[in-house]
Amino acid sequence: MAIGKDNNNSVIGPGSIFEGKFYIAGSLRIDGKFEGEIKTDDALFIGETGKVRTNISAREVIVAGTLIGNIKAENEVRLEETGRLLGDIIAPSLALAKGVVAKGNITVTGGQKKDVKKIVEESFGGTRTLDNGKEE
């Protein structure tokens, strides 16, 4: 993932506060506070001082700050060691650093378009019936 301090189309800097809808055709770095809605066709980076409350739709997402909201990524989500997350993640790939604090549901698709539950069940050989007649 090639996003950092020098590779951003837009930045919400430290000490800045932004509320509203942010639709961007490029990368975004947040080091300030943001509440609202974010959609980007590129990468989103929440820096260590970033505090974000939103649902995110992006190609790639890196969280080194605090995020309250869900993430839907096309390629990858990375939670850095200083990252804090309260929300769900749906992505083909997920990387968690030691020290991350997170709570939510995680769906890692591996890039598959098929339902993840069905993929795993088929890999296991489907469901089987227990002795009491209930499916496992």
Task: Report if residue 57 sits inside a domain.
Answer: yes
Of residues 111 and 12, which shows the higher confidence score? 12
Tokens of 132: 């009491």
Does a structural domain hold residue 43? yes
CA distance 108 to 103: 15
Reported as a single tens digit per residue, the pLDDT across 45-91 is 999 999 999 999 999 999 999 999 999 999 999 999 999 999 999 99
Count of domains for the chain: 1
**Cα torsion 44, 11, 15, 80: sign:** positive
Tokens 């080091």 sit at which residue? 31
Is 115 contained in some domain? yes
Whether 131 is covered by a domain: the verdict is no
Q: Which two tokens stand for residue 91?
A: 């992505």
Q: Does the residue 130 lie in any domain?
A: no
**Does the structure show a pLDDT above 70 at 125?**
yes
Residue 83 within a domain: yes
- Phi and psi at residue 123, in whole multiples of 5°? -65, -35
**Structural domain contains residue 77:** yes
Rounded to two decimals, the pTM is 0.82
The parent domain of residue 90 ranges over 8-124
Strand locations in 4-50, DSSP E?
Answer: 10-12, 17-24, 28-30, 33-40, 43-46
